[in-house]
Chain A
Amino acid sequence: MVPRSRAFSGWINFLLFVLLEGLSLYLIVAFNDSQHRIYRHSVGFFSEMVNSRIETFKGYFALEEENAALMEENARLRTALIQLGAMKENDASGPVLSSRSGGRLKLVGARIINQTISRRNNFLTLDKGRQTGIRENQGVIGDRGIVGITRSVGPDFTVVMSIFHSQTKISARIRDKGYFGSLRWNQSGDVRYMTLEDIPRHVPIRVGDWVESSGYSTLFPGGMSLGRVAEVRLPPGSGTYELKVKLFQDMTKIGHAWVVTTFKRPGTDSLTMQRDSL
């Protein structure tokens, strides 16, 4: 008789083999210290891996929430930053702001959900509205400069007049020199540059000078960096410069903006009232 010598002939035999192998593995892990630790470690490692995968996956669903939270936090931090800047400014130039308290400032973060930059009068739409405290004629800033001014506010959306709008005029000054003028878009279609006008010709201006918000407005806090002078032009017969300013803020890839919902410099109210009554 010649038996066929096949490994694991018959599935019952194979099952018994596997069962006993499993039993010996179980015994090894259950009763041997070092193997038990290695097993625990490996299992821990594996479950860790699975868990982190799951967390990553869940993370995608939480991104929206996360984003909102981050934006809120950003708004708070930005507020603190600007207030800090304003306080420093007060120290440096007393007369500009009479009080050292800096003033109140509150920002509301919003996502830009629509924007035009190619027209003569450009607008943006924000995904926050009246419910978050946004009103008409409030300043909108981006992370590297000014974005525009709110025009019409709905319950959930806000339309913003972009800085690339023929009627937008931003009060700006040359940093460390104090001379101020108004920044406007010359409608050339180039959204990288704006023009700073009304700086008198006797002021020494160099290419590369920093341009910042002047703070002479109730819309924007002062001292926010806006851009650098890229070209100095003095039109013949004119008493003021025409400065080409390269903006820090790239409006073509901006995703978020902050609305300055509360901005009161000390004394502003009374001054405005005086002006209005004049």
Chain B
Amino acid sequence: MNTVLLSQGFRLLLIGVLQVVIFDRLRLGPLGPYYPDIVVYPLVLLWLPFRTPRPLQYLLAFGLGLGLDITQLTPGLHAGAALTMMGFRPLVLRFLEPRAGYEALHSPTLRRFTIAWYAPYLLVLMLLYFLVYYSLEVFTPLYLGAILGKTMLSWSISALFLFLVTMIYNPLD
């Protein structure tokens, strides 16, 4: 039990620092309305074990998102996006549920599953994340085109880094 907490906490710290120190400063492409935001920290949330209590998942998502928000001076944006993503995690898990079901002690990681399971899990929830994030950033349905454009751009480029971090870190649970 303690090892789980320790490893999760360590993961949280490491990826959080990675996000703030490296990925937030990584500028790909010209500055302007359309530069990709590279977001990898939701991996911490997505890798949470299946048995993690729902309220804890929500609080973690909110807190982690808010932590990033504070460094970016965008209170509420990442928090709302991460929370929404975690709210829909059970739904996506149900769609991807293997015939044998999930092991409560396991986590939805690449090592526990195949890439054919892991990729849609990661991509669908991250798409939702970016969609919510940019909706909250633009904050008006008038610029739906901008919301969708930014979402697709950041989503596709972040996906590369999400898989990269997954492959490097590659935790079992």
Please give, as numbers and ranges, the residues of chain A lying within 8 Å of B120 by CB-CB distance.
none
B62 near A20: Cβ-Cβ < 8 Å: yes
Given A20-B58, A20-B83, answer yes or no on A2-B102 (Cβ-Cβ < 8 Å). Answer: yes
Q: Is the C-beta of B139 less than 8 angstroms from some C-beta in chain A?
A: yes
Given A3-B50, A35-B136, A39-B139, answer yes or no on A26-B104 (Cβ-Cβ < 8 Å). Answer: no
Using a CB-CB cutoff of 8 Å, which residues 56-82 of chain B contact chain A?
Answer: 58-59, 61-62, 65-66, 69, 74-77, 79-80
The main secondary structure of chain A at its interface with chain B is: helix
Q: Is the C-beta of A236 less than 8 angstroms from some C-beta in chain B?
A: no
How far does the alpha carbon of A47 sit from the alpha carbon of B105 in the complex, in Å?
51
Please give, as numbers and ranges, the residues of chain B lying within 8 Å of A39 by CB-CB distance.
139
Map CB proximity to A onto B121-162 as digits: 1 under 8 Å, 0 otherwise: 000000000000000110110000000000000000000000
How far does the alpha carbon of A88 sit from the alpha carbon of B91 in the complex, in Å?
86
A16 near B55: Cβ-Cβ < 8 Å: yes
Map CB proximity to A onto B28-72 as digits: 1 under 8 Å, 0 otherwise: 000000000000000000000011001100110110011001000
Using a CB-CB cutoff of 8 Å, which residues 29-70 of chain A contact chain B?
Answer: 29-32, 34-35, 38-39, 42
Given A32-B75, A38-B139, answer yes or no on A5-B102 (Cβ-Cβ < 8 Å). Answer: yes
B96's closest neighbor in chain A, by CB? Answer: A5
Given A28-B77, A28-B80, A32-B76, answer yes or no on A3-B104 (Cβ-Cβ < 8 Å). Answer: yes
**Range class of the B interface residue count:** 20 to 34
How far does the alpha carbon of A28 sit from the alpha carbon of B76 in the complex, in Å?
5
How far does the alpha carbon of A26 sit from the alpha carbon of B66 in the complex, in Å?
12
Please give, as numbers and ranges, the residues of chain A lying within 8 Å of B65 by CB-CB distance.
24
B76 near A27: Cβ-Cβ < 8 Å: yes
Please give, as numbers and ranges, the residues of chain A lying within 8 Å of B140 by CB-CB distance.
38, 42
Q: Is the C-beta of A231 less than 8 angstroms from some C-beta in chain B?
A: no
CB proximity of B24 to chain A, nearest CB, Å: 17
Q: Is the C-beta of B94 less than 8 angstroms from some C-beta in chain A?
A: yes
A2 near B76: Cβ-Cβ < 8 Å: no
Map CB proximity to A onto B108-120 as digits: 1 under 8 Å, 0 otherwise: 0000000000000
Number of CB contacts from chain A to chain B under 8 A: 94
Please give, as numbers and ranges, the residues of chain B lying within 8 Å of A17 by CB-CB distance.
58, 83, 87
Please give, as numbers and ranges, the residues of chain A lying within 8 Å of B103 by CB-CB distance.
1
Map CB proximity to A onto B6-19 as digits: 1 under 8 Å, 0 otherwise: 00000000000000
B55 near A13: Cβ-Cβ < 8 Å: yes
Query: Which one of B77, B80, B83, B90 contacts A5 once the chains associate, using CB atoms below 8 Å?
Result: B90
A6 near B102: Cβ-Cβ < 8 Å: no
How far does the alpha carbon of A8 sit from the alpha carbon of B59 in the complex, in Å?
14
Q: Is the C-beta of A95 less than 8 angstroms from some C-beta in chain B?
A: no
A31 near B83: Cβ-Cβ < 8 Å: no
A10 near B54: Cβ-Cβ < 8 Å: yes
How far does the alpha carbon of A23 sit from the alpha carbon of B62 in the complex, in Å?
9
A28 near B139: Cβ-Cβ < 8 Å: yes
Please give, as numbers and ranges, the residues of chain A lying within 8 Å of B102 by CB-CB distance.
2-3, 5
B101's closest neighbor in chain A, by CB? Answer: A2
Please give, as numbers and ranges, the residues of chain B lying within 8 Å of A3 by CB-CB distance.
50-51, 102, 104
Please give, as numbers and ranges, the residues of chain B lying within 8 Å of A26 by CB-CB distance.
76
How far does the alpha carbon of A20 sit from the alpha carbon of B63 in the complex, in Å?
10
CB proximity of B124 to chain A, nearest CB, Å: 13
CB proximity of A270 to chain B, nearest CB, Å: 76
B75 near A7: Cβ-Cβ < 8 Å: no
Q: Is the C-beta of B166 less than 8 angstroms from some C-beta in chain A?
A: no
B-binding residues in A (CB < 8 A): 1-3, 5-10, 12-13, 16-17, 20-21, 23-32, 34-35, 38-39, 42
Q: What are 16 A-B contacts defined by CB distance under 8 Å?
A: A3-B50, A5-B91, A5-B102, A8-B87, A8-B90, A10-B54, A16-B58, A20-B62, A21-B80, A24-B77, A24-B80, A24-B136, A25-B80, A28-B80, A28-B136, A38-B140
